[in-house]
Amino acid sequence: MRRQIIFAAFASSLLAAGACAPQDEAATDSSGGDGGGSCSPADLQTLEADTLTIATDEPAYAPWMVDDDPTSGEGFESAVAYAVAEQLGYSQDQVTWTRVPFNVAIQPGDKPFDFDINQFSISEERQQAVDFSSPYYTVAQALVAIEGNPAADAGSLADLQDLRLGAQVATTSLQILTDVIAPTTEPSVFNSNDDAKLALQNGQIDGLVVDLPTAYFISNVELDGGVLVGQLPGGEGGDEFGLLLAKDSPLTDCVSQAVDALREDGTLDELEQEWLSDVIDAPVLE
Amino acid sequence: MTVGLPGQVGWTPSELELGRRAYRRSRGRRSTLVALISTLAFAALAYFTVTNSPGWPRVQATFFSLEVAKDSFPKILEGLWLNVQVLVVGGFLVLVFGLAIAVLRTLRGPVFAPLRILGTVYVDIFRGVPLIITLYLVGFGFPALGLQGVPTSPFILGTAAIVLTYSAYVAEVFRAGIESVHPSQRAAARSLGLTHRQSMRIVVLPQALRTVTPALLNDFVALQKDVGLISVLGAVDAVRQAQILTGQSFNFTPYVVAGLLFVLLAVPSARLADYVSARARRRQQAGGLL
């Protein structure tokens, strides 16, 4: 009798495990009709009613966010986030910010935000796990080095091949580093750009690959004797940043429409000029 | 006049005894059969429930994709080689330093008080500080000093940080072993005219080491997994390689592959630990009354 009970318990726990159906099978039905619906705050299924919850990483750096304060509206991404919110019909007061690490945001699953703005490059692989809006910025990758290091004087990709280079894990920077520069010594891979900057400053690596605006900020503001060596030719037609949303989020269409509208009326170009104009004239390494 | 003993030639078990044996054998066969059938039935039920559950194809594609596993295996194995190198070098140094600290902490005599205190403080600090902090301090902090001759290789710095932390753990294991040797052993050694150093080397340590071998091998298995933490310094080991591959594909199979490789690495250590402690037990209890 006792054995049967245990067996039954096993069997029922297995059935319970089997009942864990994928989340979105039920969710897509309810969100299916929203594509053609209105994009006003009253109709948007946000995390909290009448509030737009936007996420970014902590700390957030210039020129994306000024002084690690996303609520200021200063810095390119902060400005874009508020512009998108305004386009959707949310006032400044209706926007709340939350902090989500980069690597956590791109994993599949539920999200504690309506959208995340954190220099996410749009890629097909990532789109299997999350949604992206239309791109709000197209960016190149660039190499940063310290004055006096051979990497700082590199004039071509070939000059870089024999150096010790690094990048942050799971980024387009790392992909471009391995594919485009193809260094002969295995690249160093760090958990975050902050660790990578330490290693660069310490001379543990000769050069660091990051996206161009970040490279500009790192080399001019953060590092002593930092040099922006140059842009790297993009792998496949440049890297586009998109707002990140949960997979099959009911908001994706509306957010994309808002970004498209901002691009068409020239707002994105204006913001780019305002916050990113300094970085556009870095030389391209071939 | 001798009585026939069981087992002598010519003796055969009685009908009754043969019957009992046959009965026992049949019960044994029955138990095996029942266990076999119930295991098979359970396995079949588990298999069909899991594979027929609505989420299974996605689980399989995300965690157990054979194709991704095949692609990622060589790279992860390459990364694992770094783990093994750190493990071998680090493991050896940990034993040396751990033993030295344990011996310092067990020195007798008032003149050795500073050494004892030093040993105690060292163990308290490095056993208490999280390994990841030690790694950051040693791995990024030392090179930041800009002193001449400080290495920048993540292999050397990472191994140094791991040795610092694990020496503290292992020193305590050794100390427990040294203190578990009965004082009469030490007294007997001294009464034979051995010096402190000799009695330590010839009498105490051999017994202490035997006692703590299972605990040491346990720490060794823990070390096997923690060597992966040096990846925060930029070194590409098995864990980091799996992370890179997962980041490219959003498929978690590389993590599973790396995890399985670590299990494979740990299994021989576990079996060795079992074997060593069984042998020690046999030797220690050989010739005993019980």
A141-146: strand order across its sheet: A188-190, A165-168, A207-211, A141-146, A226-232
Touching check for A125 and chain B: CB below 8 Å?
yes
Q: What is the mean pLDDT of residues B46-73?
A: 87
Q: B229 in a domain, yes or no?
A: yes
Segment B91-108, tens digit of pLDDT: 999 999 999 999 999 888
Touching check for A201 and chain B: CB below 8 Å?
yes
- Angstroms from A204 CA to nearest CA on chain B: 5
Segment B225-281, tens digit of pLDDT: 898 888 888 888 898 999 888 887 778 899 999 999 999 988 888 888 788 878 877
This model of the complex carries an ipTM of 0.70
Q: What is the mean pLDDT of residues A233-237?
A: 60
Q: Which of A9-13, A41-45, A52-56 has the lowest mean pLDDT?
A: A9-13
Q: Where does chain A hold its CATH 3.40.190.10 domain(s)?
A: 39-138+239-279, 141-232
Residue B83 has pLDDT above 50, yes or no: yes
Nearest by CB to A169, which of B52, B58, B240? B240
Domains in chain B, number: 1
Q: B59 in a domain, yes or no?
A: no
**Cβ distance of A21 and B55 shorter than 8 Å:** yes
**Cβ distance of A187 and B240 shorter than 8 Å:** no
Q: B34 in a domain, yes or no?
A: no
Chain A residue whose CA is closest to B46 = A14
Cα A18 to Cα A20: distance, rounded to the nearest angstrom:
5
A141-232: CATH topology is D-Maltodextrin-Binding Protein; domain 2 (3.40.190)
Q: If residue B69 lies in a helix (H) or strand (E), which one and from where to where?
A: helix B66-105
Segment A243-267, tens digit of pLDDT: 999 988 889 999 999 999 999 998 9
Full residue range of the structural domain in which residue B97 is found: 65-280
Q: Which residues of A touch B55 (CB under 8 A)?
A: 20-22
Average pLDDT in chain B: 88
Segment A16-41, tens digit of pLDDT: 544 455 554 444 433 333 444 578 88
Predicted model pTM: 0.69
Q: B151 in a domain, yes or no?
A: yes
Cα A273 to Cα B266: distance, rounded to the nearest angstrom:
56
Tokens standing for residue B127: 């056993």
The confidence score (pLDDT) of residue A32 equals 38
CATH of the domain at B156: 1.10.3720.10
**pLDDT confidence tier of residue A137, bands split at 50, 70 and 90:** confident
Task: Name residue, tokens 């299990």.
Answer: B263
**Cβ distance of B140 and A18 shorter than 8 Å:** no
Nearest by CB to B243, which of A17, A169, A188? A169
Q: If residue A5 lies in a helix (H) or strand (E), which one and from where to where?
A: helix A2-18
Q: What is the mean pLDDT of residues A129-141?
A: 88
Q: Is the pLDDT higher at B69 or at B280?
A: B69
Q: Which CATH architecture has domain A39-138+239-279?
A: 3-Layer(aba) Sandwich (3.40)
**pLDDT confidence tier of residue A117, bands split at 50, 70 and 90:** very high
Q: Which residues of A touch B154 (CB under 8 A)?
A: 188, 204
Helices and strands (H, E) in chain B, number of each type: 12, 0
The confidence score (pLDDT) of residue A34 equals 41
Percent of chain A residues topping a pLDDT of 70: 84
Burial environment of residue A243 by CB neighbours within 10 A (0 to 12, 13 to 18, 19 or more): buried
Percent of chain B residues topping a pLDDT of 70: 96
Q: Which residues contact B170 (CB under 8 A, 6 or more apart)?
A: B94, B95, B97, B98, B99, B102, B216, B219
End-to-end CA distance of chain B: 34
Nearest by CB to A203, which of B42, B50, B143? B143
Highest mean predicted confidence (pLDDT) among A228-237, B256-265, B277-286: B256-265
Q: Which residues contact B167 (CB under 8 A, 6 or more apart)?
A: B93, B94, B97, B98, B101, B126
- Angstroms from B70 CA to nearest CA on chain A: 18
Chain B residue whose CA is closest to A168 = B234
- Angstroms from A120 CA to nearest CA on chain B: 13
Q: Do you find a cis peptide bond into A63, omega within 30 degrees of 0?
A: yes
Helices A76-88 & A267-276 angle (0-180, nearest 10) = 160
Q: Which residues of A touch B146 (CB under 8 A)?
A: 202
